[in-house]
Structure 1
Amino acid sequence: MNEKVNQFDDIYLGLAPELGLLRLAQSGLGWKARKGDGLFTVRDADLKRTTWLRAARNFQLRIQLRDGRIVKFDGFQRDDFEKLRDIIKANYGLQLETKEMSVKGWNWGETDFSNGNLVFSVQNKDMFEIPLNEVINTSLTAKHEVMIELGTADSEGKEKNRKGDQLVEMRFYVPGSKAQDGEGEEESNANVFYNLIKNEADIGDAGPGEGIVLFSDILCLTPRGRYDIDMFPTFLRLRGKATDYKIAYTSIIKLFLLPKPDDLHVLFVIGLDPPLRQGQTRYPFLVFQFVREEEIDVNLNLDDETIRTKYDGKLEKRYESRTYEIVSTLFKALTGRRVTIPSEFFKSYHNQSAIKCSMKANEGVLYPLDKSFLFIPKPPTFIPHSEIGSVTFSRVGGGAASASRTFDLKFNMKSGVDYSFSSINREEYANLNEFLQNKKIKTKSMEDESTGRYVEMVGESDSDEDTGKRKRKSTIQDYGGDDDEGESSPDEDFVADDSESDVAEEFDENVSDSGSGSGGSDDDDEEDQRPAKKSKK
């Protein structure tokens, strides 16, 4: 005998964006997405309690299972209540309870943790709730303020399916304090709330013995501060004095290991997508600085079998080497990303891998890499070769510009966004220009900034007539543009060559120096013709 099945159309399961069909029968209930393979079923014996309430997407049927889990179905209409109540009572012998929600619009109330949710209530009526499995970070942004960050990755670092707008951050003001047990010192209520969120949302410390290695008190230039880097199998924790971030390895898309031109430090740069957020500020790159000669001795909390099977022998049980080599090696193995190192085709006038310059009011260094340019530390700016339309040099020609000790550089991107760098030592022009020519990047040299006149120099690949020579032509162009950041390119645009070896070997100082080429532009051969002055009578 076939049992009767009741069906409701256009129903959402939890926070999923897909619409589906909800079917209720005596043996249980099931939800199936209209598109795709989404399927969810519950047996009648597992149902414990049902509740009807107002939700963001019309009305919601909330089902509590006997194992403590909560299942939510959104999208019901107001007129569905009586029909749904009768079906649940007839099939499962349960009452469909109604729950009133607070609609006062107040922004102060009380919080509670219930069934995996952070519930905010006003006058004993729930106003909203936040699933704790959506919370990826929390921090104390002020003495009485707690920030929680919501993301799109689960505890394993896998991307969740999300469409449209999404809430990414909330802040709670928690005034007051209370005395600690047995101690005279007081602890702020905000700190108590902060610790509760970490524990309930499972974003605090992992279980004992689960961490692979801990690097303490590492200097970070962007964002500025000192942090502990605690590395786990699928994520890392970045702990500062007032911040605590959980970063999944799947969100790390770029790794750079670059020597600083001072010969004393090495920079390790981590590219993130989505970026790290501190309030309204986004940090798509983390820039760590290490003392070049500093060495450490660490033991990984991994057994030999795990190293051999899970990490294919890419890790070792014990490391005793320079700090930056160990850190970069571990990041390379745990993230599966290549570590980009300086280009062997560029050396500055002082035999360095970068040139000092300024971006607006920020001083830093610009690294010409094999497939991109990278400016650090602030703001970290990534410029792929493939997205560069042309490069314009300013104040490198004759006349008054020849007396200047520095010149300017502007990247004219294909997207229309420009990046300008100033205060570059004039001695760097020849090597930098030769590097651009070798990479087949079109360059232009400004003749007269007052008129916007420049000389265009085209590499060999752009000239059909001249072989080994530059074709020069004069034209008029406005010298301007904005400095908005462009979007980063995919991973292929920044990875090192396929011939790279392990990071420790790659970074040995045996890279061959490329000679400083004769790629500098000569002084202009032609001068503007001016009418002769009339003699005074």
Structure 2
Amino acid sequence: MKNFYDPSEMDDVISLDSLFLLSTNNGDENINLKLADKGIAMKNIENGAITTIKKDDIHRIELYRGTRLYNMRITTKTKIFNINNILEEKIEEIKKVCGHWYSINVYVKPLEIVDTTKGKVTFSEDYLEYRTDKLIFDVPLKDVVSVCSVKNEAVLGFDCDKEFDGVIEMRLSVPDENFVKNLRERSEIGQVKSIITFETLNNVSPRGKSDYIFSENYIRILGRTYEHKVLYSSIKKIIVLEQEKVVNIIINVDPSIKQGQTRYNFINLLFEKGIDEDFELELDSDLRSKYPSLEEKYNGELYETFIKIIELFTKQRVQVSECFKTRTNQIFLSCALRALEGFLFPISDAVIFLPKVIYMPHREIRLVEFYRVDVSVMTSKSFDMKIITYDSSYLFSSIDKDEFGALEKYFGDCNVEIRVEIVENEIPPEEEDDTTEIENEPSLEADESDV
């Protein structure tokens, strides 16, 4: 394709300067735009980067009032460009050249600006539209990453770069029961081919059963009520905690997923041991080249297959607990956090509490304090432990007293500072006097033996 910024190659060119390319990833970019008979080019004023759109790739061009003067939306086969700050006197010229060069009929789309609270939801090619007789707003279907039904509402989730402000969720009151199904089919969610699906897995946190659908670039977590799209690049850590009969797989995601008003940085999956399942995959040449280790058939224990698949797609090494053992050769400790009974898993670089996942990395632990360690076993068979981080603290109670030595060694080996509270077992003077008097009294057993 010709470079439209080379004067020798420009015949008939329409130049539009000091425009803004709206972008959720990099903020608004200040650009100059050029329209030519062979396509469109945009030049970033700050860094000089040039983006070109071939004539044959232009699918649709629309004009409407924007946040800055007029907005031009260019829809291609793979991308959408929103360009703001177009002067009104340029509109007629843009309409003429687009019709002549690209054979696209361009008009200024009227927008509803008065009655914006009540409308109907419709589908229009690549967009979800909310409108009366005029358009109120529309959403590109490719931007919808999750959709679910909560009571009488359709909940739409969107990707958003956490460094910039943006909409991550929208709720629509839609009476049509088939709306969610239709939206899934039309959006990218329904278009992406699944590679392998794990059905009805048990989520401990967030609670419920979900299908885990692995595609080329992300996992789609589909529950009865909620749906999430988790990019493989968003998975920061995978931890496997294996017990005698069950296995917990902890998945750390950033950005977090949201259900209701609660955000979850950790997904806690529970697998029962002894459950086997066979999988057969349909692999094309692109998948084979991108994931050469991917096999056509998987069999064996379900949790083992899940670990293999998530390791392969995320390129993350699974972390296991190998550095701590109790006196009964377990990798966890029974304890309680307030009224919640659970388990503590000391691993190589953190301490994890389950079932509600609390992740305490060693680098964030300021101090670990032990209480009631030196109290007589006749008085108490357990002790308490407080883990103090730089922004919070957690008091774990009812830990078996026999496990203190293992915990003390674990934190010492990990260079985590500990402190043991010493309970003085001194008897107050008044009690000492009473004890002396009792000891000097005649023995009741002796009296009885004398009878």
TM-score, normalisation: structure 2:
0.81
What residue number does 2:364 align with? Answer: 387
- Please give the alpha-carbon distance, in whole angstroms, between the structure 1 residues aligned to 2:265 and 2:250: 10
Contact kept in structure 2, 1:393 and 1:446, CA below 8 Å? yes
What residue number does 2:159 align with? Answer: 151
Q: 1:407 to 1:328 in 2, by over 3 A?
A: same
Contact kept in structure 1, 2:16 and 2:32, CA below 8 Å? yes
Shift in Å, 1:43: 6.1
Q: 1:213 to 1:21 in 2, by over 3 A?
A: closer
What residue number does 1:319 align with? Answer: 298
Shift in Å, 1:306: 7.6
What amino acid is aligned across from residue 270 of structure 1 in structure 2? I
Which consecutive unaligned segments of at least 5 residues does structure 2 have? 1-7, 433-451
SS of 1:99's partner is coil
Q: 1:170 to 1:528 in 2, by over 3 A?
A: farther
What residue number does 2:421 align with? Answer: 446
Considering only CA atoms, is the larger Rg found in Structure 1 or Structure 2? 2
Q: Please give the per-residue CA displacement for 1:165-215, whole angstroms capped at 9, x wherever unaligned.
A: 11000111112xxxxxxxxxxxxx1x31101211121202644xxx33332
Listed as ranges, the matches of 1:218-257 within 5 Å are 218-257=201-240
Which consecutive unaligned segments of at least 5 residues does structure 1 have? 153-160, 176-188, 449-523
Q: 1:204 to 1:433 in 2, by over 3 A?
A: same
Identify which of 14, 18, 21 aligns with 1:12: 21
Contact kept in structure 2, 1:21 and 1:31, CA below 8 Å? yes
What residue number does 2:257 align with? Answer: 276
Q: 1:331 to 1:98 in 2, by over 3 A?
A: closer
Q: 1:422 to 1:351 in 2, by over 3 A?
A: same
- Please give the alpha-carbon distance, in whole angstroms, between the structure 1 residues aligned to 2:98 and 2:126: 28
Contact kept in structure 2, 1:116 and 1:131, CA below 8 Å? yes
Q: Please give the per-residue CA displacement for 1:420-445, whole angstroms capped at 9, x wherever unaligned.
A: 32232222222111111111211012
What residue number does 1:341 align with? Answer: 320
- Please give the alpha-carbon distance, in whole angstroms, between the structure 2 residues aligned to 1:90 and 1:232: 41
CA RMSD of the aligned region, Å? 3.5
What residue number does 1:97 align with? Answer: 107
Contact kept in structure 2, 1:254 and 1:337, CA below 8 Å? yes
Shift in Å, 1:342: 1.1
What residue number does 1:118 align with? Answer: 128
Shift in Å, 1:225: 1.7
Contact kept in structure 2, 1:13 and 1:31, CA below 8 Å? no
What amino acid is aligned across from residue 111 of structure 1 in structure 2? V
- Please give the alpha-carbon distance, in whole angstroms, between the structure 2 residues aligned to 1:91 and 1:332: 49
Q: 1:151 to 1:366 in 2, by over 3 A?
A: same
Shift in Å, 1:325: 1.6
What amino acid is aligned across from residue 344 of structure 2 in structure 1? L
SS of 1:250's partner is helix
Relative contact order (alpha carbons < 8 A, sep ≥ 6): 1 or 2 greater? Answer: 1
SS of 2:108's partner is strand
Contact kept in structure 2, 1:217 and 1:227, CA below 8 Å? yes
- Please give the alpha-carbon distance, in whole angstroms, between the structure 2 residues aligned to 1:321 and 1:68: 40
Shift in Å, 1:49: 7.1
Q: 1:402 to 1:54 in 2, by over 3 A?
A: farther
Contact kept in structure 2, 1:63 and 1:72, CA below 8 Å? yes
What residue number does 1:133 align with? Answer: 142
TM-score, normalisation: structure 1:
0.69
Q: 1:203 to 1:45 in 2, by over 3 A?
A: closer
What amino acid is aligned across from residue 338 of structure 1 in structure 2? R
Q: Please give the per-residue CA displacement for 1:331-387, whole angstroms capped at 9, x wherever unaligned.
A: 1122111111112x3112322101112233322211100111111221x11111122
Q: 1:37 to 1:363 in 2, by over 3 A?
A: farther
What residue number does 2:245 align with? Answer: 264
What residue number does 1:405 align with? Answer: 381
- Please give the alpha-carbon distance, in whole angstroms, between the structure 1 residues aligned to 2:321 and 2:268: 16
What residue number does 1:521 align with? Answer: none
Q: Please give the per-residue CA displacement for 1:37-64, whole angstroms capped at 9, x wherever unaligned.
A: 6423346788787654222455312356
- Please give the alpha-carbon distance, in whole angstroms, between the structure 1 residues aligned to 2:362 and 2:419: 16
Q: Please give the per-residue CA displacement for 1:121-163, whole angstroms capped at 9, x wherever unaligned.
A: 13x1211111222110000111x211000014xxxxxxxx674
Q: 1:89 to 1:325 in 2, by over 3 A?
A: closer
Identify which of 81, 91, 109 aligns with 2:88: 81
Contact kept in structure 2, 1:57 and 1:75, CA below 8 Å? yes
Q: 1:229 to 1:41 in 2, by over 3 A?
A: closer
- Please give the alpha-carbon distance, in whole angstroms, between the structure 2 residues aligned to 1:96 and 1:162: 35
Identify which of 172, 176, 198 aligns with 2:184: 198
- Please give the alpha-carbon distance, in whole angstroms, between the structure 2 residues aligned to 1:46 and 1:432: 63
Q: 1:49 to 1:232 in 2, by over 3 A?
A: closer
- Please give the alpha-carbon distance, in whole angstroms, between the structure 2 residues aligned to 1:63 and 1:256: 44
Contact kept in structure 1, 2:32 and 2:44, CA below 8 Å? no
Question: How many equivalent pairs are there?
Answer: 419
Identify which of 309, 330, 342 aligns with 1:330: 309
What residue number does 2:340 align with? Answer: 362
Shift in Å, 1:3: 5.6
- Please give the alpha-carbon distance, in whole angstroms, between the structure 1 residues aligned to 2:427 and 2:51: 78
Contact kept in structure 1, 2:98 and 2:105, CA below 8 Å? no
Contact kept in structure 2, 1:409 and 1:420, CA below 8 Å? yes
